[in-house]
Chain A
């Protein structure tokens, strides 16, 4: 064979060999593909779907809160918001700077935005601003082409039309705490808020509703491409209907003004809380969009404690407003009869200790009704000296002191009704008679809330174990058939105490000078001044400093309980004005106006005219006479 032939043969042989190798290589690729697509195909199909299908949550519309007449206390309104999607912004800082020329962005807000950007994935929108006006929102939309990464949307956000008037009741909304971020998938939604105080927090689950879901096709960076059926719509949260009367609530707040005070007005028969004011207040709308640092600090530092819901969370000694309970306890335990009299010379000696009456020249001989009317301390000291503290405590509890009513707002306190057991258990000591004397005039360890005072007053007025209610119903007809069992107290005894409380408003009563109701409806009540500062012996000798001359924080708390109309009670109230000095001059007029207003509104709604003030209710015209220098304690 020629050399050329050999060369040719070698080439041919080896070319066929390589062709075979090529075929083998192709077969390898083919079988690999067969393995991936046919044998493992289902698994890869599943993984492809897992890649592209993402479950997205739909925020439910939050339930609204209404007053007893269906007026909105908390609602949802269209909110214009601006988000930033970091991935789409060329440079986040540039975009934010340009956005800052349209929307006001302070440093704290910017810092928060940047923190959030670092925390989440780059395609997730970060809330930059919300609660924008339509005008600003429109400007952002117009400028959008020069704001890469900026997205606008309008969603629902919480709005309180009369926020300042109902702040402590409804509470407020704020962003979920960072610790809670993983507890609900909804928290990941931009701008999602949760209830932080009041009803918003207490009824969070009911108000929130149920989140919906939708399946969306997403691309590799997680951007939404389209929605895939089926979609599960969100279920709207339940509405809350309150017993509150917004008119009366607003009136109460206006009347409390700038005082640090808490006032509650309840319906004597149903226990409906018609008004529950706490002052000073704050605007819960500020929290929805994130309260500014300055405003938050101001709320925290205010000595009048605007954030405390005083009617349920403020604890105060009841002072002389406790005397009706003391009187009932004495009557029920047989220590006094309705006509029992005691002589008051201005003080009472127990062992080596002298207990003073607020009126140091004394009240002379007074019976029980007069003792309540004039708030004679010595009468009650003398009664208390013959009584067991446990009987007093029992009577206090029957009237609602020491009880948590759980009306639906945060931080309700139970207060303290001291007795032997408490003294032994908590103070590890025996009960001393002197303490009974202190309790008898509402001092000592006794602590109550204004809500408890209002219920106490309502129970005295109605004789029933009335229970307060703020929330009448969730999504539905209110339960109006509330009735209460009568109190286990002799009605004759109650009658004596009520008469005493009527006399408080009449000539000689501690509230008489300030009691000028607009209407002719007779009211009954009891003043109280709770001492903050102990009066020393030397002060008694040199003359007690007038309350008005003391610094604000050292003045007595002013209290008042009352009900009206006196002969057929419909509404009852309990009110406290912190450091208001005198129950009669500070608390009583507010309570008087609240009760008047409540009845006026009630008559209006029932179509009945309100009796106009006549001359029977004491001096009407002119300024009140200057308080008797001795008559200012209460």
Chain B
């Protein structure tokens, strides 16, 4: 039995500078290393040129890194207070995209706010986890186990998911659901519920297939039979596997990947960037990057164990699981283990949205880590 003093209120009175020093800089460094692997791959994909992608990505990363550090040192109580509003803002942005998308034709997923484009569905991944962590923070052990605790989380999850899937962006929808489910699981909802849900989803797949868009259905058919479409989507996965397989143990060398340099690979700078890495740096390079992801995300997941507030625990673990899913779906997809669903590899793929999601989420994880000794009241943030 654990000693009671662990849960006794403890005064935490660090200033911003102290909190910055107190960050886990090794983990920050690992994040930077992942991003650097991304710059290298974008440099390679451009045929050995910082233009047009690597440089842009590096500048974005610099901004995102600053944002992450700011988020990390902001008091966790502010984040708890901001949890529900964040969810609300996210939903409003999704609705805005829906309206603009309807006007601008086609599936528009972003909002142009002048200096950058915001993809609300990305931010929603974080906001849903925050809101759920906030909700379960206020529920004690028994309340959390009660099925009544399903109602509000269901609303918190389903409202944004419906909006996202409507865009249509099934991949992000699935990731929001999975992230939310992870938080509920960690919060203590009965395990049988998740087993039942899993079986239910498995049974619903055939029905879901029926309601899918053609391109979504094609992805699944192609996944099961890549040879059936050697020119279209099957081509992507075939070329992707050739790149991964031909890299061998040590790879063909930086800038020497034939599949990538000669453009046989599809979507190299975005969804399929992992294959460029595996082709040029081989199994060793790919394992190194997967290892970095593994360490960084396992840290986020298990760090919660040492955290005094349920909000912090659920937030860091939930975000870690979300980010892990992000990585896993992408890598499994390029390896032909999953249908091609158009999910980028966060931090490495070219593009600001996924990187921003990662860095904001990781900023929150670091904030949890730095404030792990802060006790939060069950209701409200305890700020006032």
List residues of chain A with CB under 8 Å of any chain B CB.
Answer: 1-8, 10-12, 14-16, 18-19, 22-23, 25-26, 28-30, 32-34, 36-38, 40-41, 43-45, 47-49, 51-52, 217-221, 225
Contact = CB atoms under 8 A, between A and B. Distances in A.
B294 A5 contact: no
Contact of A26 (B241, B243, B294): B294
Interface string B306-330: 0000100110010001001000100
B248 A45 contact: yes
B301 A33 contact: no
Contacts of B313: 8, 11, 15
Nearest to A39: B245
Interface string B242-265: 111111110000000011001110
A12 B306 CA distance: 9
Contact of B278 (A5, A23, A33): A33
Given A15-B313, A26-B293, 5 more contacts: A11-B186, A26-B290, A41-B249, A51-B262, A220-B264
Given A5-B2, A37-B247, A15 B304 contact: yes
Contacts of B314: 11
B337 interface: yes
The 9 closest A-B pairs by CB, nearest first: A44-B245, A48-B246, A219-B262, A220-B263, A36-B245, A6-B141, A10-B188, A3-B141, A44-B246
A33 B301 CA distance: 25
B116 to A, nearest CB: 31
Contacts of B278: 33, 37
A29 B282 contact: no
B245 A2 contact: no
Contacts of B302: 15-16, 19
7 contacts: A11-B317, A18-B301, A18-B317, A37-B245, A37-B249, A38-B248, A51-B239
Contacts of B7: 2, 4-5, 8
A220 to B, nearest CB: 4
Contacts of A49: 258
B34 to A, nearest CB: 14
A5 B2 CA distance: 8
Contacts of B185: 14, 18
Contacts of B332: 28-29, 32
B186 A15 contact: yes
B245 A45 contact: yes
Contact of A44 (B241, B297, B304, B310): B241
B331 A29 contact: yes
Contacts of A218: 262
Contacts of A33: 244, 278, 283, 286-287, 335
B335 A22 contact: no
Given A32-B335, A41-B248, A43-B245, A219 B304 contact: no
A11 B304 contact: yes
A37 B287 CA distance: 12
A11 B310 contact: yes
A221 B332 CA distance: 27
Contacts of B243: 48
B330 to A, nearest CB: 10
Contacts of A3: 140-142
B328 A48 contact: no
Interface in B307-365: 310, 313-314, 317, 321, 324, 328, 331-332, 335, 337
B207 interface: no
Contact of B182 (A18, A29, A44): A18
B303 to A, nearest CB: 9
A44 B244 contact: yes
Contact of A220 (B141, B246, B262, B290): B262
A225 B262 CA distance: 8
Most buried by A among B245, B262, B301: B245
A34 B321 CA distance: 24
Main secondary structure, interface of A, reads helix
Contacts of B290: 26, 29-30
A48 B259 contact: yes
A415 B267 CA distance: 71
Contact of A15 (B2, B287, B293, B305): B305
Nearest to B298: A19
A34 B297 CA distance: 22
Contacts of A10: 141, 186-188
A7 B144 contact: yes
A48 B242 contact: yes
A36 B321 contact: no
A29 B337 CA distance: 9
Contacts of B264: 48, 51-52, 219-220
B245 A11 contact: no
Contacts of B297: 22
A618 to B, nearest CB: 83
B283 A18 contact: no
B105 interface: no
B63 to A, nearest CB: 29
B151 interface: no
B103 interface: no
B241 A11 contact: no
B248 A37 contact: yes
B263 A221 contact: yes
A110 to B, nearest CB: 30
B259 A219 contact: no
Contacts of B337: 28-29, 32
A18 B335 contact: no
A137 B342 CA distance: 48
Contacts of A25: 324, 328
B113 interface: no
Nearest to B187: A11
A11 B145 CA distance: 12
Given A3-B140, A33-B335, A47 B242 contact: yes
B306 to A, nearest CB: 10
B186 A14 contact: yes
A4 B1 CA distance: 13
A47 B294 contact: no
Nearest to A50: B242
B4 interface: yes
Contact of B335 (A14, A23, A29): A29
A540 B22 CA distance: 133
B244 A36 contact: yes
Nearest to B7: A4
A67 B282 CA distance: 65
Contacts of B246: 37, 41, 44-45, 47-48
B262 A7 contact: no
Interface string B125-148: 000000000000000111010000
Nearest to A32: B335
A40 B278 CA distance: 14
A19 B283 contact: no
Nearest to A4: B7
A9 to B, nearest CB: 8
B283 A37 contact: yes
A3 B136 CA distance: 13
Contacts of B188: 7, 10-11, 14
A48 B144 CA distance: 54
A497 B20 CA distance: 126
Most buried by B among A3, A51, A52, A221: A51
Interface in B258-289: 258-259, 262-264, 278, 282-283, 286-287
A437 to B, nearest CB: 77
A43 B248 CA distance: 11
Contacts of A15: 186, 301-302, 304-305, 313, 317
Contacts of A6: 141
A43 B2 CA distance: 57
Contacts of A22: 294, 297-298, 301, 321, 324
Most buried by B among A10, A11, A217: A11
A104 to B, nearest CB: 37
Interface string B144-185: 100000000000000000000000000000000000001001
